[in-house]
Amino acid sequence: MFELNSKMNDERIDEIGENHVATSAQNPVRDDAFDISDEEKINRIQESVKEILITLGMDLTDDSMQGTPKRVAKAFVNEMFMGLNPKNMPKPSTFDNNYNYGEMLVEKNIVVYSTCEHHLLPIIGKAHVAYISGGKVIGLSKMNRIVEYFSKRPQVQERLTMQIVQAMQEALGTQDVACVIDAKHLCVNSRGIKDIESSTVTSEFGGKFKEKTTRKEFLQYLQMDTKF
Catalytic: 128?
no
Return d(Cα 208, Cα 81) in angstroms, integer.
Answer: 33
Catalytic: 119?
yes
| Cβ(150)–Cβ(170) below 8 Å | no
Catalytic: 179?
no
Flag whether pLDDT at 67 surpasses 80.
Answer: yes
Catalytic: 118?
yes
| pLDDT number for residue 23 | 59
Catalytic-labelled residue, pool 46, 155, 157, 163: 157
Tell me, yes or no, if the pTM score tops 0.95: no
Catalytic: 117?
yes
Catalytic: 157?
yes
List pLDDT tens digits, range 53-66.
999 999 999 999 99
Residues forming CATH 1.10.286.10 domain(s) in the chain: 31-80
Fold of 91-221: GTP Cyclohydrolase I, domain 2 (3.30.1130)
The CATH number, out of the four listed (1.10.286.10, 3.30.565.10, 1.20.120.420, 3.30.230.10), of the domain defined by the range 31-80: 1.10.286.10
Flag whether pLDDT at 1 surpasses 60.
Answer: no
| Cβ(133)–Cβ(105) below 8 Å | yes
* pLDDT average, residue stretch 14-30: 71
> Nearest-CA neighbor of 42 among 85, 5, 4?
85
Flag whether pLDDT at 155 surpasses 80.
Answer: yes
Catalytic: 20?
no
The count of residues in the chain is 228
Residues forming CATH 3.30.1130.10 domain(s) in the chain: 91-221
List pLDDT tens digits, range 39-48.
999 999 999 9
Beta strands in the chain (DSSP E): 94-96, 104-116, 122-132, 136-138, 154-155, 177-185, 200-205
